[in-house]
Every structure is written in structure tokens, then in C-alpha cells.
Amino acid sequence: MSDTTGQPAAQTPYERFGGHAFFERIVHAFYEQVALDPVMRPMYPEGDLTAAEDRLRMFLEQYWGGPTTYGEVRGHPRLRMRHADFAIDADARDRWLHHMAGAVQQESLPEADEAELWGYLVSAAYAMQNIPDDPADAPGIHRARE
């Protein structure tokens, strides 16, 4: 495939990472660990994690330049809003990252691709945290000066 100048079209991250099969593997490996995690598992009310697995896979595929199925099925991602009902503290965030790191590392991506993917995943995990590490850091709360 080439662009309008006749140059080969740049691959999307979705394609570079390995396409659908790559995202299917990492998301499945991630949810295998979530199913066993005493903090993470209760955040998923479904008895079967298949629907959650499908949603995350579709989201990641779309974010990285793959099929737009997530948007077609679920609309705008609105990640903060979709996660607002869940108590996500630093422990939950770090567990999410731990399970995702294990899944990503199993794939042996080239270093630059892994760094690009991991940078986004860390940023997303921190963005979903809705319980501050220190209650004094919450908006509108200030420490008394001594």
C-alpha cells in the first residue's frame, strides 16, 4: 500500500504491534490475571469476563489505529465517565498495570513499540484513578499550615 506520493504508507501502531491477534492475546492474558485478583475481580460484575475482554480489546485496537468497532458499538470512549462508578485507588491502578505489564511482556515487542504502548497504558491507568493517593491532594482540600 502506498500514499498519494507513491511512498509506502506508514504502518499504524495497530499494524506494527501485530494487529487483531496481538491485541486479542494481550487482553486475554490480562483478564486471566484479573480473574484471579482479589481487588480487581470484584470491579467486574459479570460472572464471565468475556464482555469486558471484548470491550478493552476493541478500545485498544481503535486507539492504536485498527478497526473502529469500539466507536461503532459503544460510541465515544468516555473512559473517565465509564469508570466513575468504580473505586480506583493507587492499589487498583498498580494491580491493573502489573497484570497489563505481564501481558505485554509476553509479546516481546520491539523496544520502541513496547515503550510507546507502555507509555499510553501507564498514562491511562493514572487517568482512571479516582481516589487520590493522599486525601489532602483532593480538589478543594488544603492542608492547614503549621
What residue type is assigned to position 34 of the chain?
A: V
pTM of the complete model: 0.82
**CATH T-level topology, domain 15-132:** Globin-like (1.10.490)
Mean pLDDT score of the chain, rounded to an integer? 86
Per-domain boundaries in the chain: 15-132
Give the model confidence (pLDDT) of 31-86 as tens digits: 999 999 999 999 887 788 999 999 999 999 999 999 999 888 877 767 766 777 78
Return d(Cα 71, Cα 4) in angstroms, integer: 27
DSSP state of 43: G
pLDDT at 115: 97
pLDDT at 47: 84
Burial call 22-57: b when 16+ CB within 10 Å, e when fewer: bbebbbebbbebbeeeeebeebbeeeebeebbebbb
**Angle (nearest 5°) at CA 25 between 21 and 27:** 120
